[in-house]
Structure 1
Amino acid sequence: MYRELAPPPDLAASVACVWSSVSRGGVILPDGCVDVVWRGDRLIVAGPATAAVAAGVPLGVPVFGVRFRLGAAGAALGLPAVELADAAVDAEEVFGRGASERVAAGGMPALLELVRARLRPVDPLDRAAALAMARPETRVASLAPELGVSERQLRRRFLDAVGYGPKTLGRILRFQHFLELSGRGSDLARLALDAGYADQAHLTREAKRLSGRTPAELIASGAGAAGERVRSVQAVGAPGAYRPAG
């Protein structure tokens, strides 16, 4: 069973949630976020994806991780998030030798200590840009002057903070919003409009590009939203309270 909990208070500015699950195979859908994941045999940093990625973990293996907030991973980990895009990086390249062994021995508390030791302050401008681009009506040309930077500088900073550009993030967050709404029913035309697509055909094209499945197939599979929730993305923290794993 997949479970999300709020991070410890001292990590909440950069970390959206901590989570645990048992591998069911299948694929992981793009959600705009970066996770540090214990996958049963080693620790990885799962970068922001632009398409579905095979889980690659045997069925039944317990897995857990830390998910960074939109726009926080680059600064928090001390490297440009664009270097992690569509990649699963051995965590020892980020956290140093012995990272996997420490988490294997200590579970979630050990993972949180690794993150805590690595964490760098997140620039409020980068976070503000990511939050603003979570709104479908936001455009870089209008956002840059509001934040006091040029369009070019904003795009560069956005790549370093998020891992890809504003347009790609917008597409992924809109797709996640569809998944969030899909529990309401299977009226695809209505779901498409409510999620911000031009029409059902637009939703179908985007779903296939991002997940390899049609919207109907996604609903039938029970696929749900992930990442930092689109409609509550301005909130710090998440429902629940952290309790050590195991």
Structure 2
Amino acid sequence: MYREWRAAGVPGAVAWTSVARGDGPVRVLPDGCLDLLWSSRRGLLVAGPDRTAQVSLSVPGERWIGLRLPPGVGPAVFGVPAEELCDSRVPLADLWAGAAAEVVERVGAAVDTTGWPTAGAAVLTDVARDRLRAAGGPDPLGVRVATRLAAGAAVAATAAEVGLGARALHRRSRALFGYGPKTLARILRMRRALDLARAGVPLVEVAVRGGYADQAHLTREVRALAGAPPTRLLAPGGD
């Protein structure tokens, strides 16, 4: 009931759609991203960057369309620093006032068509692309920092590479990602570790390859960020 694909016109963005089956709460892991969302029940929302997992509960049959913006891109689209949206879900109208009404109308027309998922996702993508262009594109610093941290670079080395001191990088990171570079690095490292584990790599090896002290350290970090140990997340049907 869930599918995703690369969104054309917005570098690094992913469009996704789902229909809730009513199986209970869904654990949404932090990823450093901001999302533009449409819900058949709640309308248009903005999902800010999460520091820990959020538990989402949808009613059976609730339809969702989303556009996931990569770390550092969301502030240019939404027009506010990421730290103002951290760990929150807010109506788009709270950010864009009257401009949100036009988006609501466009998405409403799109989801009334027989091809509602792709048509609605195309509207969200077009809106984000136009906003991004009007803003002159994302802050290039965000792309550089997120790329280096996603590749496993240390925060100090990343700061040196982009020519910023520790305090300046922390300040800019809060505006771009919602939190400091160390938190973003922890989240991205967890995502890499879980990807390796899902590919069949044993957890003890995942810990080594991910730069954790040992498997116990990996488990503690995943539990702190995801609210559950990796064994539970990786189990069939796990959250």
Instruction: Give the TM-score category using the shorter length.
Output: 0.7 to 0.9
Check if 1:35 corresponds to 2:35. Answer: yes
Give the letter aligned to residue 111 of structure 1: L
- Which whole-Å CA distance do the structure 2 matches of 1:115 and 1:186 have between them? 37
Unaligned 5+ segments in structure 2 are 111-119
- Which whole-Å CA distance do the structure 1 matches of 2:184 and 2:197 have between them? 20
Check if 1:118 corresponds to 2:115. Answer: no
- Which whole-Å CA distance do the structure 2 matches of 1:34 and 1:132 have between them? 19
Structure 2 equivalent of residue 237 of structure 1: none
Give the letter aligned to residue 176 of structure 1: R
C-alpha displacement of 1:126: 2.4
Contact 1:91–1:100 (CA under 8 A) maintained in structure 2 = no
Contact 2:16–2:121 (CA under 8 A) maintained in structure 1 = no
Give the letter aligned to residue 21 of structure 1: S
2:16 corresponds, among 19, 31, 36, to 19
Contact 2:85–2:178 (CA under 8 A) maintained in structure 1 = yes
Q: How many residues align?
A: 220
Structure 1 equivalent of residue 47 of structure 2: 46
Structure 2 equivalent of residue 212 of structure 1: 227
- Which whole-Å CA distance do the structure 1 matches of 2:34 and 2:7 have between them? 15
Name the CA shift for 1:195/1:222 in 2 (closer, same or farther; >3 Å): farther
- Which whole-Å CA distance do the structure 2 matches of 1:208 and 1:36 have between them? 27
- TM-score norm. by structure 2 comes to 0.82
Q: How does 1:177-192 map to 2 (within 5 A)?
A: 177-185=192-200, 187-192=202-207
Give the letter aligned to residue 179 of structure 1: L
Once the two structures are superposed, residues 212-239 of structure 1 have per-residue CA deviations (whole angstroms, 9 ceiling, x without a partner) of 2111111104569xxxxxxxxxxxxxxx
- Which whole-Å CA distance do the structure 1 matches of 2:96 and 2:125 have between them? 12
Give the letter aligned to residue 213 of structure 2: A
The higher relative CO (CA closer than 8 Å, separation ≥ 6) is in: 1
Identity %: 40
Q: How does 1:40-189 map to 2 (within 5 A)?
A: 40-41=40-41, 42-97=43-98, 98=101, 99-106=103-110, 107-119=120-132, 120=135, 121-140=137-156, 142-185=157-200, 187-189=202-204
- Which whole-Å CA distance do the structure 2 matches of 1:92 and 1:101 have between them? 13
Contact 2:73–2:176 (CA under 8 A) maintained in structure 1 = yes
- TM-score norm. by structure 1 comes to 0.80
Name the CA shift for 1:161/1:103 in 2 (closer, same or farther; >3 Å): same
